[in-house]
A = this chain, B = another copy of it.
Amino acid sequence: MRIGELSRETGVAVPTIKYYVREGLLPQGRLTSPNQASYDEVHVGRLRLIRGLMDVGGLSVSAVREVLAAVDSPEPVHKKLGAAQHAITRVPGGEPEGVAEARDTVGALLRRRGWRVAPDHPSAEAMAVALAAIRGLGHGAFDEVLDSYADACERIAEADMAFAGHTTEVDRLTESVVVGTVLGDVVLTAMRRLAHVEASAHAYGDGTR
Protein backbone atom coordinates (compact mmCIF):
# COMPACT_ATOMS: atom_id res chain seq x y z
CA MET A 1 0.00 0.00 0.00
CA ARG A 2 1.08 3.61 -0.44
CA ILE A 3 1.80 5.93 2.48
CA GLY A 4 -1.64 7.60 2.21
CA GLU A 5 -3.36 4.26 2.62
CA LEU A 6 -1.07 3.36 5.55
CA SER A 7 -2.11 6.67 7.11
CA ARG A 8 -5.84 5.99 6.63
CA GLU A 9 -5.47 2.43 7.90
CA THR A 10 -3.76 3.47 11.15
CA GLY A 11 -5.07 7.00 11.74
CA VAL A 12 -1.48 8.31 11.87
CA ALA A 13 -0.82 11.43 9.75
CA VAL A 14 1.58 11.13 6.80
CA PRO A 15 4.16 13.64 8.16
CA THR A 16 4.17 11.70 11.45
CA ILE A 17 4.80 8.43 9.60
CA LYS A 18 7.70 10.09 7.74
CA TYR A 19 9.04 11.38 11.06
CA TYR A 20 8.99 7.86 12.55
CA VAL A 21 10.88 6.53 9.51
CA ARG A 22 13.51 9.31 9.86
CA GLU A 23 13.81 8.60 13.61
CA GLY A 24 14.34 4.89 12.95
CA LEU A 25 11.13 3.73 14.64
CA LEU A 26 9.53 2.43 11.47
CA PRO A 27 11.37 0.56 8.67
CA GLN A 28 11.39 2.30 5.28
CA GLY A 29 8.88 1.13 2.73
CA ARG A 30 10.04 -0.84 -0.33
CA LEU A 31 10.89 1.65 -3.11
CA THR A 32 8.68 1.05 -6.14
CA SER A 33 9.92 4.16 -7.97
CA PRO A 34 12.42 6.88 -6.98
CA ASN A 35 9.64 8.86 -5.26
CA GLN A 36 7.30 6.16 -4.10
CA ALA A 37 7.48 3.48 -1.45
CA SER A 38 5.19 0.59 -0.69
CA TYR A 39 4.14 -0.44 2.82
CA ASP A 40 2.62 -3.66 4.16
CA GLU A 41 0.98 -5.25 7.20
CA VAL A 42 4.29 -5.23 9.10
CA HIS A 43 4.24 -1.42 8.92
CA VAL A 44 0.60 -1.31 10.05
CA GLY A 45 1.36 -3.48 13.10
CA ARG A 46 4.50 -1.54 13.97
CA LEU A 47 2.73 1.83 13.68
CA ARG A 48 -0.06 0.64 15.98
CA LEU A 49 2.53 -0.58 18.48
CA ILE A 50 4.36 2.77 18.40
CA ARG A 51 1.13 4.71 18.99
CA GLY A 52 -0.04 2.41 21.78
CA LEU A 53 3.27 2.74 23.63
CA MET A 54 3.30 6.53 23.20
CA ASP A 55 -0.37 7.57 23.50
CA VAL A 56 -1.53 5.08 26.10
CA GLY A 57 1.73 4.02 27.76
CA GLY A 58 3.22 7.53 27.85
CA LEU A 59 6.62 6.47 26.44
CA SER A 60 8.89 9.00 24.71
CA VAL A 61 10.10 8.65 21.12
CA SER A 62 13.56 7.66 22.35
CA ALA A 63 12.17 5.05 24.76
CA VAL A 64 10.08 3.57 21.91
CA ARG A 65 13.18 3.46 19.68
CA GLU A 66 15.09 1.51 22.36
CA VAL A 67 12.17 -0.85 22.95
CA LEU A 68 11.85 -1.66 19.24
CA ALA A 69 15.61 -2.24 18.98
CA ALA A 70 15.24 -4.82 21.78
CA VAL A 71 12.23 -6.43 20.09
CA ASP A 72 14.19 -6.71 16.81
CA SER A 73 17.54 -7.81 18.27
CA PRO A 74 18.85 -11.35 17.69
CA GLU A 75 19.77 -11.84 21.37
CA PRO A 76 18.44 -14.72 23.50
CA VAL A 77 15.02 -14.15 25.08
CA HIS A 78 16.15 -13.27 28.60
CA LYS A 79 18.57 -10.66 27.19
CA LYS A 80 15.95 -9.17 24.83
CA LEU A 81 13.51 -8.90 27.71
CA GLY A 82 16.18 -7.29 29.89
CA ALA A 83 17.00 -4.71 27.20
CA ALA A 84 13.31 -3.97 26.63
CA GLN A 85 12.77 -3.59 30.36
CA HIS A 86 15.66 -1.14 30.68
CA ALA A 87 14.16 0.90 27.84
CA ILE A 88 10.74 1.18 29.47
CA THR A 89 11.91 1.94 32.99
CA ARG A 90 11.87 5.59 33.97
CA VAL A 91 14.22 6.30 36.87
CA PRO A 92 12.96 9.45 38.62
CA GLY A 93 15.38 12.37 38.42
CA GLY A 94 17.16 13.81 41.43
CA GLU A 95 18.93 12.14 44.30
CA PRO A 96 16.69 12.66 47.34
CA GLU A 97 18.26 12.68 50.78
CA GLY A 98 18.41 9.23 52.29
CA VAL A 99 18.64 7.39 48.98
CA ALA A 100 21.64 5.35 50.19
CA GLU A 101 19.60 3.93 53.10
CA ALA A 102 16.70 3.31 50.73
CA ARG A 103 19.02 1.32 48.41
CA ASP A 104 19.87 -0.88 51.41
CA THR A 105 16.15 -1.40 52.06
CA VAL A 106 15.62 -2.46 48.44
CA GLY A 107 18.66 -4.77 48.54
CA ALA A 108 17.36 -6.39 51.73
CA LEU A 109 13.92 -6.86 50.13
CA LEU A 110 15.45 -8.53 47.05
CA ARG A 111 17.46 -10.92 49.27
CA ARG A 112 14.45 -11.63 51.48
CA ARG A 113 12.26 -12.50 48.48
CA GLY A 114 15.01 -14.47 46.75
CA TRP A 115 14.62 -12.43 43.55
CA ARG A 116 17.66 -12.82 41.29
CA VAL A 117 18.01 -9.18 40.28
CA ALA A 118 21.20 -7.13 39.92
CA PRO A 119 21.09 -4.52 42.70
CA ASP A 120 21.87 -1.78 40.13
CA HIS A 121 18.81 -2.66 37.99
CA PRO A 122 17.08 0.62 37.03
CA SER A 123 13.84 -0.50 38.70
CA ALA A 124 15.71 -1.13 41.96
CA GLU A 125 17.07 2.41 41.68
CA ALA A 126 13.62 3.83 40.83
CA MET A 127 12.22 2.11 43.89
CA ALA A 128 15.00 3.43 46.14
CA VAL A 129 14.46 7.01 44.94
CA ALA A 130 10.69 6.75 45.53
CA LEU A 131 11.17 5.22 49.00
CA ALA A 132 13.66 7.91 50.00
CA ALA A 133 11.20 10.60 48.87
CA ILE A 134 8.33 9.00 50.81
CA ARG A 135 10.45 8.84 53.96
CA GLY A 136 11.68 12.39 53.45
CA LEU A 137 8.04 13.54 53.43
CA GLY A 138 7.56 11.97 56.85
CA HIS A 139 5.59 8.93 55.68
CA GLY A 140 8.15 6.28 56.57
CA ALA A 141 5.36 3.95 57.76
CA PHE A 142 5.05 3.13 54.05
CA ASP A 143 7.94 0.70 54.56
CA GLU A 144 5.47 -1.65 56.20
CA VAL A 145 3.55 -2.21 52.94
CA LEU A 146 6.62 -3.42 51.02
CA ASP A 147 6.17 -7.13 51.66
CA SER A 148 2.45 -6.96 50.86
CA TYR A 149 3.37 -5.26 47.57
CA ALA A 150 5.98 -7.95 46.92
CA ASP A 151 3.44 -10.73 47.59
CA ALA A 152 1.05 -9.01 45.16
CA CYS A 153 3.81 -8.53 42.56
CA GLU A 154 4.73 -12.21 42.68
CA ARG A 155 1.12 -13.07 41.92
CA ILE A 156 1.02 -10.46 39.14
CA ALA A 157 4.31 -11.67 37.61
CA GLU A 158 2.98 -15.22 37.60
CA ALA A 159 -0.15 -14.08 35.72
CA ASP A 160 2.04 -11.97 33.38
CA MET A 161 4.24 -14.96 32.56
CA ALA A 162 1.16 -17.07 31.78
CA PHE A 163 -0.02 -14.25 29.49
CA ALA A 164 3.38 -14.11 27.75
CA GLY A 165 3.25 -17.92 27.45
CA HIS A 166 0.35 -17.57 25.01
CA THR A 167 2.94 -16.42 22.51
CA THR A 168 5.30 -18.99 21.09
CA GLU A 169 7.13 -16.98 18.45
CA VAL A 170 10.17 -15.27 19.99
CA ASP A 171 9.92 -11.78 18.41
CA ARG A 172 6.24 -11.65 19.16
CA LEU A 173 7.00 -12.78 22.75
CA THR A 174 9.17 -9.75 23.42
CA GLU A 175 6.49 -7.49 21.92
CA SER A 176 3.88 -9.16 24.05
CA VAL A 177 5.97 -8.63 27.21
CA VAL A 178 6.54 -4.98 26.30
CA VAL A 179 2.83 -4.39 25.72
CA GLY A 180 1.91 -6.31 28.87
CA THR A 181 4.40 -4.30 30.89
CA VAL A 182 3.86 -0.77 29.56
CA LEU A 183 0.09 -0.93 28.99
CA GLY A 184 -0.22 -3.38 31.90
CA ASP A 185 1.23 -0.64 34.15
CA VAL A 186 -1.66 1.59 33.10
CA VAL A 187 -4.17 -1.18 33.85
CA LEU A 188 -2.52 -1.99 37.18
CA THR A 189 -2.27 1.55 38.53
CA ALA A 190 -5.85 2.24 37.40
CA MET A 191 -7.04 -0.93 39.11
CA ARG A 192 -5.20 -0.08 42.32
CA ARG A 193 -7.09 3.25 42.43
CA LEU A 194 -10.40 1.48 41.86
CA ALA A 195 -9.58 -0.92 44.71
CA HIS A 196 -8.78 2.17 46.82
CA VAL A 197 -12.22 3.65 46.14
CA GLU A 198 -13.87 0.51 47.46
CA ALA A 199 -11.51 0.33 50.46
CA SER A 200 -12.08 4.02 51.28
CA ALA A 201 -15.87 3.72 50.96
CA HIS A 202 -15.66 0.73 53.26
CA ALA A 203 -13.42 2.44 55.87
CA TYR A 204 -14.68 6.02 55.85
CA GLY A 205 -18.22 5.79 54.51
CA ASP A 206 -19.19 7.80 51.49
CA GLY A 207 -19.33 11.39 52.68
CA THR A 208 -20.65 11.39 56.22
CA ARG A 209 -17.54 11.35 58.42
Contact A188/B194 with A137-B49, A183-B134, A209-B78 known, Cβ cut-off 8 Å: no
Instruction: Report the nearest B residue to A48, measured CB to CB.
Output: B137
Task: Determine, out of A13-21, A30-38, A63-71, A156-164, the stretch whose residues face the partner at the interface.
Answer: A156-164
- Check A196 against B155 for contact (C-beta < 8 Å): no
Q: Which of A83-142 contact B (CB under 8 A)?
A: 85, 89-90, 92-94, 96, 110, 113-117, 121, 123-124, 126-127, 129-131, 133-134, 136-139, 141-142
Shortest beta-carbon distance from A92 to chain B in Å? 4
A172-209, CB under 8 A of B: which get 1 and which 0?
Answer: 00011101110111111111111111111101111111
- Check A190 against B139 for contact (C-beta < 8 Å): no
How many A residues touch B, CB cutoff 8 Å?
Answer: 96
- Check B153 against A159 for contact (C-beta < 8 Å): no
- Check A115 against B194 for contact (C-beta < 8 Å): yes
Q: How far is the CA of A153 from the CA of B185 in the complex (A)?
A: 12
Interface of A is mostly: helix
Q: In the complex, which of the residues B110, B131, B148 contacts A159, with contact meaning CB atoms closer than 8 Å?
A: B148
Contact A185/B189 with A76-B207, A116-B201, A133-B52 known, Cβ cut-off 8 Å: yes
The answer to whether the Cβ of A74 comes within 8 Å of any Cβ in the partner chain is no
Shortest beta-carbon distance from A176 to chain B in Å? 5
Residues from chain B with a CB closer than 8 A to the CB of A133 are 52, 55-56, 183
Residues from chain B with a CB closer than 8 A to the CB of A146 are 187
The answer to whether the Cβ of A79 comes within 8 Å of any Cβ in the partner chain is yes
Q: How far is the CA of A26 from the CA of B191 in the complex (A)?
A: 31
Instruction: Report the nearest B residue to A186, measured CB to CB.
Output: B130
A39-79, CB under 8 A of B: which get 1 and which 0?
Answer: 00000010011011001111000000000000000001111
Contact A153/B194 with A76-B209, A78-B201, A144-B163 known, Cβ cut-off 8 Å: yes
A–B complex contacts, Cβ < 8 Å, 17 sampled? A52-B134, A56-B129, A58-B90, A76-B207, A78-B206, A78-B207, A92-B186, A123-B193, A123-B197, A124-B194, A129-B186, A133-B183, A139-B179, A144-B163, A149-B159, A150-B191, A153-B195
